[in-house]
Chain A
Amino acid sequence: MAPTRPQTPRPLRVNSRGAGLRPGRSGAGNPTLPASAMAAGPAPLGGHPRAQKPHLSKMERVVVSMQDPDQGVKMQSQRLLITVIPHAVTGNDVVEWLIQKYCIAEDEALHLGTLLVQHGYLYPLRDPRRLLLRPDETPYRFQVRLNWEQTPYFWMSTLWPAAELDYAIYLAKKNIRKQGALVDHEKVGYHHPSPATPAESSQRNPSPTSGAHSPGSKLIQMHKHTHPIEGVSEGRWGVHPPELGVGKSFPLETFNHPQAHYDQLHRKINHTWDLVVMQAREQLRAAKQRRKGDRLVIACQEQTYWLVNRPPVSLLLEGGSWTAEKSLQGQCVSLRCSLRTCLLTLGKDVSFEILAKFLTKTVDFYKRRIECCRKALGRTRVKSSVCLEAYLKFSSQRGPHDPLLSGCLPSNPWVTDDDTYWAMNAPSVAVPTKLRVEQWAFSFRELLEDPVGRAHFMDFLQTEFSAENLSFWEACEELRHGGQAQVPALVDAVYQQFLAPGAARWVNIDSRTMERTLEGLGRPHRHVLDDAQLHIYMLMKKDSYPRFLKSDLYKDLLAEAVVPLETKRRVFPFMWKPRHSSPSLALLPTSTSGEPEAAAGSPGGGDGET
């Protein structure tokens, strides 16, 4: 499955760090932009060049224009008990502004707003864990999207070890702040769906789905179809989620739980845990230097960032490594993102069946993929230089023989309604055309496939007293392609005639193949003589065939072969049989077939023939 993300080619590294591999990062090397001023610069460590995905740049433009002091969204201040934090917007304002600016319907504005929230450009202040835009007085605030907006792309890239560290530090900070109570917060799955949600979703769902689907699954479909989050596109999501039953609800906090993440991280980057703790403490202390309002805002921002970019459930469940497996990247991303979209927008318990489906798909899918890759590794491959040479040789050899490329003599029956061409090239004809005889020289297979050629080859073999080889081969062919009912009888006949120790036409097969064939004769099937047939075939090909080509018999055939003349053109316009209007390609001077006799059939001339 090809990932939908545009596969931009990785540019080469320009600065000095190209050569070494650092143990802390995976060895892919860190490409940077070869662009002008920023040799060191904003090119991220690993992964893709800095060009953002288009939907993100579009969103950025929207957000930037929202911030315009004159024309942007109306900003308010958020009042906490004593502190006042400016620059809050309400959901209502956002939706109205979008409607007004882009002249879209309310549903679309709502959807667009939700997208902005989900990608982290806006974050809700009241209910930060549900990334939805509500068209009411809920306040939101803008988030500065740091270069971190690229981080989601690098889930599985060389940057990830450092981002793990970031996440670990964040969790440690949270741990300190909440005094060890990571359990209480950031649970996705414990929110009751508010009345707004089904209404919104039914508003937003234009496509008719089967009535049995609950609103939640409609949301999933909607997101699946309408926007690619981080590379998910429609066709790649193989599993269509069943309707979200209420049934067995499976609280997700055991999986998607910061405590679980914390423990996992602790196991994984245990060696840097000192640093994690130190940094967490110091960062909190540094934050205390600010005023309270700023502190709150920054904490909010960070929380939103990690909510939006949280590592996915499926990978954590497997306990699998987070480092890149590039070939699986696309599939992984799609699964992750679809699951995450699921979780983020629903905010309710996802039923166990869906989760199970995702899980099994992941594990099995990986196993199959591994098998597939292993097999692919084992396949023999031909170098393209060799392959292309063979192509060239083939084309140059066959060019003159191709009726479309080089024209056919006497004339193309489809054009002139004259079927001499077919008559002359019939399978069994007394005198073959020259082209046909030449074709026998190309390969042994050509010779054998042509009945006339085979017949002549048989004659030749008879002069050499090795005609039984060809007979044996023909008998084997008959066995292979014949009727099933005749197989035992035929096998027996072949054995009697060719393989038995004192047979009349005994063929010379090496002992090992003979043993195997004799064993197989006990239970005859149509492929029992395949080994022997192959052996004889190779024998003829290596031995008799070159001699045939050099023999007098063949040379005589070549000499006797006929070259048809091109039919003369009629001049009179009102004849019953229309003739082709242009001369045959075969007679063009550039043609390589080089048949001087054919030139005698020159077109034109005033004499008509009846």
Chain B
Amino acid sequence: MAKEECKALLDALNKATACYHHLVLTIGGSADSQNLREELQKTRQKAQELAVAIRARLTPPLRDRGLGAEERAEFERLWVAFSGCLELLEADMRRALALGTEFPLHAPRRPLVRTGVEGGASGVAARALSARSLRHEGERDFDVEDLHQLEREILKVGEMIQDMEMKVNVPRWTVQARQTAGAELLSSASAGVSSVGGVSVQQRMGPCDLSKALAATIFSAVLLAAVALAVCVAKLS
């Protein structure tokens, strides 16, 4: 079924875009490295492939005049999500270009900003590519060439968006989204359970948590001490 395929591809694109966004966040920070740039490149290339595929799948039904209203509405919804995704991707790519030029890896004009982020992001990229792990194989001047390529790709994506607008006429304001205002909460519980890592869903801020964590530690320490004392007393007597 074309719609299911499209949906699956769109989900994959969504995932790739989210991962790309996440990776772009760390450019220029203390976690920036060659590996990061490679991961960026791979992620965005995957995203672009997906975009091309989706576009190829979505354009014919939308240009088909004879499509029923229901079907058409469905496809329009997918279209709007798709173009929004592409725009997000393009914006992130531009930011990546800007940051990449400002914070070159080798011969740095200025050192990387020490933001406190340290670990690598290969897990993120692997998730985007739906691969187990990632191999890094770039050469030394990877980031400079990468930037040129990034420019070209930005242009390509831009053209694609433009083309899409020209070819298919979908008035966005008529599209009714399926999700309601609090929709992300409803299935997030299920998503949280099934997510990788099994970390608790409640991500509290570290600093806010500090006092509570401290109190908890002290309490447990006191408890342990009390238990130990009780045992000693029991042993002595």
Residues of A within 8 A of B (CB): 15-17, 20, 22-24, 37-42, 44-45, 50, 63-64, 67-69, 75, 78, 80-81, 83, 85-88, 125-126, 128, 141-144, 146-148, 159, 162, 165-166, 172, 175-180, 262-263, 266, 270-283, 285-303
Contacts and interface: CB of A to CB of B under 8 A. Distances in A.
Interface stretch (B46-54, B75-83, B135-143): B75-83
Given A22-B165, A273-B177, A45 B202 contact: no
Contact of B84 (A41, A88, A165, A294): A165
Interface stretch (B60-68, B167-175, B227-235): B167-175
B216 to A, nearest CB: 9
B188 A293 contact: no
A15 B162 contact: no
A279 B84 CA distance: 10
B182 to A, nearest CB: 7
B151 A41 contact: yes
Nearest to B199: A288
A16 B162 contact: yes
Interface in B170-194: 171-185, 188, 191
Interface of B: 11, 14-15, 17-19, 21-22, 24-31, 77, 80-81, 83-85, 87-88, 91, 94-95, 97-99, 101, 110-111, 113-119, 121, 123-124, 126-128, 151-152, 154-155, 158-159, 161-162, 165-166, 171-185, 188, 191, 195-197, 199, 201-203, 205-207, 209-210, 213-214, 217
Nearest to B22: A286
A271 B184 CA distance: 15
Nearest to A265: B181
B88 A165 contact: yes
Contact of A293 (B95, B99, B119, B195): B119
Contact of B177 (A81, A263, A270, A295): A270
B155 A15 contact: yes
Contacts of B176: 270-271
B91 A45 contact: yes
B155 A289 contact: no
B210 A289 contact: no
A131 to B, nearest CB: 15
Given A81-B209, A293-B118, A296-B206, A144 B28 contact: yes
A301 B205 CA distance: 11
Given A80-B210, A146-B25, A176-B201, 4 more contacts: A273-B181, A289-B123, A290-B124, A294-B31
A86 B30 CA distance: 10
Contacts of A141: 115-116
A179 B116 contact: no
A157 to B, nearest CB: 13
Contacts of B166: 20
B80 A271 contact: yes
Contacts of A24: 83, 87, 172
A272 B84 contact: yes
28 contacts: A16-B158, A17-B159, A22-B161, A40-B154, A41-B94, A41-B98, A42-B94, A45-B94, A67-B114, A69-B111, A80-B206, A81-B209, A81-B213, A85-B118, A87-B115, A87-B116, A144-B26, A144-B27, A165-B88, A166-B88, A179-B202, A271-B175, A272-B84, A275-B84, A282-B14, A285-B18, A285-B196, A293-B119
Contacts of B206: 78, 80, 83, 85, 125, 296, 300
A23 B168 CA distance: 12
A23 B165 contact: yes
Given A42-B97, A68-B111, A279-B17, A80 B81 contact: no
Nearest to A148: B95
B191 to A, nearest CB: 6
A274 B213 contact: no
A180 B118 contact: no
Nearest to A37: B151
A271 to B, nearest CB: 4
- Chain B interface mostly helix, strand, loop or mixed? helix
A296 B159 contact: no
Contact of A298 (B88, B117, B179, B199): B117
Contacts of B178: 274
Contacts of A50: 98
Contacts of B21: 283, 286
A20 B205 contact: no
Nearest to B10: A278
Contact of B116 (A15, A41, A86, A180): A86
B54 to A, nearest CB: 13
B18 to A, nearest CB: 4
A315 to B, nearest CB: 20
Contact of A144 (B29, B111, B181, B201): B29
Given A80-B210, A141-B115, A162 B203 contact: no
Contacts of A178: 202
Top-6 shortest CB links A-B? A289-B123, A282-B18, A42-B98, A273-B177, A87-B116, A87-B114
A83 B203 CA distance: 14
Given A80-B213, A172-B184, A179-B202, A273 B179 contact: yes
Contact of B114 (A75, A125, A271): A75
A272 B94 contact: no
B189 to A, nearest CB: 9
Given A17-B162, A141-B116, A162 B91 contact: yes
B56 to A, nearest CB: 20
B172 A23 contact: yes
Contacts of B124: 286-287, 289-290
B115 A144 contact: yes
A275 B181 contact: no
Contacts of A37: 151
A277 B87 contact: no
Nearest to A38: B151
Given A45-B94, A126-B207, A298 B26 contact: yes
A289 B184 contact: no
A245 B161 CA distance: 53
A38 B116 contact: no
Contacts of A303: 205
Contacts of A85: 116, 118, 206
A262 B115 CA distance: 29
A177 B202 contact: yes
A289 B175 contact: no
Nearest to A82: B213
Contact of A272 (B81, B159, B161): B81
Task: Among B81, B116, B184, find the residue whose CB has the most chain A CB atoms closer than 10 A.
Answer: B116
Contact of A175 (B84, B101, B182): B182
Contact of A294 (B27, B118, B195): B118
A344 to B, nearest CB: 19
A289 B191 contact: no
A580 B224 CA distance: 113
A64 B188 contact: no
Contacts of B199: 288, 292
Nearest to A295: B203
A142 B113 contact: yes
Contacts of B19: 282, 286
